């Protein structure tokens, strides 16, 4: 649907509203909130209802989105709504078309960029405007990408981030749900977490993290399941679980104390101390730190040289190291996921997420 000098007509708007009802694929919470806000602004004007109670998570998030539009004119909101729906319809149209094999690989991932070159498969988190915060879709796509990488003919697999962050961890809007959905969503979240971490425990080839910028939460704890961790000196490592009413995951309740000693692990995992790249390297979480100005060049030169080493020897050596603790890691992963399932339903966790969503608290 094209824009006109006058903006979208009422007819365009109504047709977009109807198109939304036919949309097959869930566009995700973020887009749904935007659509809601623009619909309300287009039909009722600026937000005019009382702010919902703090525990009414879903209505509060909707109210915030509508209220954030301020005095945006109805015509502009109508046009924005039409544009949003038009973007969604064209992407779902194109995904339903049959594509040639080569295209399908690229189109398969919406939140990642996956490339293979010089014996290296690179999985890049690609949500730079949200600091590569991990949505449910992203966890699922990372698992698919790891499975594909485990079977391709590359020697090394790399995970990195696009933009200024490696990743800001779990996307906190994953928790924007109504109270009656909470139990079921926590149950599904725990399964997703267990399966996600399980893919890293079982990954059969050398796995390298290229930590291009700050890392938060699960994007820090998962690092101990990599074989090499290269970090820019701009990167920081932050696990603010207690601040979020949550507890450690990705086996870190076991791997961090064994890596850096219980006292240093407690400082990070219980008290949320943020480490610089140099500190993380001193504690054994990072293999090597590079100046940000030469980070990409130095790291990729190093990895290209490693990727020429005998592939099977690398793979077998990695598996020999991992096999000593694989069973234990899976048991710890299951237990941590079970505990988080309970935590996600706690008032402490809900309050922390509400604070983030209402921008009272930032790390």
The contact set with ligand LRBWVUCK (CB under 6 A) reads 130-131, 133, 139, 168-173, 189, 192-193, 216-218, 244, 246, 249, 356, 362-363
Give the nearest distance from C-beta 163 to ligand LRBWVUCK in angstroms: 10
Q: Which residue is nearest to ligand LRBWVUCK (CB)?
A: 217
Give the nearest distance from C-beta 355 to ligand LRBWVUCK in angstroms: 10
Give the nearest distance from C-beta 134 to ligand LRBWVUCK in angstroms: 7
* Residue closer to ligand LRBWVUCK, measured from CB, 143 or 266: 143
Q: How far apart are CA 343 and CA 328, in angstroms?
A: 23
Nearby residues of 359 by Cβ (< 8 Å), 6 or more positions away? none
Of the CA atoms within 13 Å of residue 114, those in its CB half-sphere come to 25
Query: Which phi and psi (to 5°) does residue 264 adopt?
Result: -70, -35
Give the nearest distance from C-beta 52 to ligand LRBWVUCK in angstroms: 19
Q: Which two tokens stand for residue 63?
A: 């109210």
DSSP string, 125-142: E--GGGTT-B-HHHHHHH
Instruction: Specify which residues 211 forms β-bridges with.
Output: 231
Q: What is the widest separation between alpha-carbon atoms in the chain?
A: 68
* Residue closer to ligand LRBWVUCK, measured from CB, 13 or 63: 63
* Residue closer to ligand LRBWVUCK, measured from CB, 151 or 187: 187
If you search the block for the tokens 């290229």, which residue do you land on?
210
How long is the chain? 363
Give the nearest distance from C-beta 154 to ligand LRBWVUCK in angstroms: 27
For residue 336, the surrounding DSSP H or E stretch is helix 326-343
Give the nearest distance from C-beta 168 to ligand LRBWVUCK in angstroms: 3
Question: Nearest-5° angle of CA 83, CA 24, CA 136?
Answer: 90
Q: Are 208 and 226 in contact (CB under 8 A)?
A: yes
Nearest to 182 by CA among 29, 335, 65, 341: 341
* Residue closer to ligand LRBWVUCK, measured from CB, 206 or 214: 214
* Residue closer to ligand LRBWVUCK, measured from CB, 104 or 188: 188
Q: Are 130 and 171 in contact (CB under 8 A)?
A: yes
State how far the alpha carbon of 28 is from the alpha carbons of 111, 144, 165, 177, 273, in Å.
Answer: 12, 19, 22, 12, 32
Q: How far apart are CA 213 and CA 284, in angstroms?
A: 18
How many beta carbons lie within 10 A of that of residue 298, not counting itself? Answer: 14
Give the nearest distance from C-beta 356 to ligand LRBWVUCK in angstroms: 6
Radius of gyration (C-alpha) of the chain in whole angstroms? 22
């Amino acid at each position: 649907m094209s824009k006109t000098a006058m903006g979208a007509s009422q007819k365009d708007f109504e047709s977009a509203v109807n198109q939304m009802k036919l949309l097959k694929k869930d566009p995700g919470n973020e887009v749904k909130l935007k659509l809601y806000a623009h619909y309300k602004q287009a039909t009722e004007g600026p937000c005019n209802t009382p702010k919902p109670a703090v525990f009414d998570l879903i209505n509060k998030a909707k109210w915030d989105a509508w209220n954030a539009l301020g005095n945006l004119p109805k015509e502009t909101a109508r046009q924005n709504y039409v544009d949003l729906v038009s973007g969604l319809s064209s992407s779902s149209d194109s995904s339903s078309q049959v594509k040639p094999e080569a295209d399908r690989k690229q189109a398969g991932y919406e939140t990642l960029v996956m490339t293979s070159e010089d014996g290296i498969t690179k999985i890049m988190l690609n949500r730079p405007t949200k600091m590569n915060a991990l949505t449910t879709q992203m966890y699922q796509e990372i698992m698919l990408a790891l499975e594909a990488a485990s079977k391709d003919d590359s020697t090394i697999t790399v995970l990195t981030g696009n933009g200024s962050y490696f990743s800001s961890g779990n996307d906190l809007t994953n928790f924007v749900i109504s109270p009656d959905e909470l139990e079921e969503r926590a149950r599904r979240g725990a399964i997703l977490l267990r399966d996600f971490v399980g893919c890293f425990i079982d990954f059969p080839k050398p796995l390298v993290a290229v930590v291009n910028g700050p890392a938060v939460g699960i994007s820090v704890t998962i690092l101990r399941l990599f074989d090499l961790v290269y970090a820019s000196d701009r990167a920081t490592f932050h696990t603010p679980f207690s601040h979020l009413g949550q507890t450690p995951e990705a086996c870190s309740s076991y791997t961090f104390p064994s890596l850096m000693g219980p006292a240093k692990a407690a400082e990070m995992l219980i008290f949320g101390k943020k480490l610089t790249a140099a500190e993380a390297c001193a504690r054994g979480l990072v293999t090597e730190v590079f100046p940000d100005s030469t980070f990409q060049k130095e790291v990729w030169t190093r990895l290209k040289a490693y990727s020429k080493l005998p592939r099977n020897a690398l793979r077998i050596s990695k598996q020999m190291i991992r096999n000593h603790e694989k069973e234990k890691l899976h048991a710890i992963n299951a237990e941590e996921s079970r505990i988080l399932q309970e935590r996600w339903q706690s008032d402490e966790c809900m309050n922390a997420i509400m604070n983030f969503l209402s921008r009272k608290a930032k790390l």
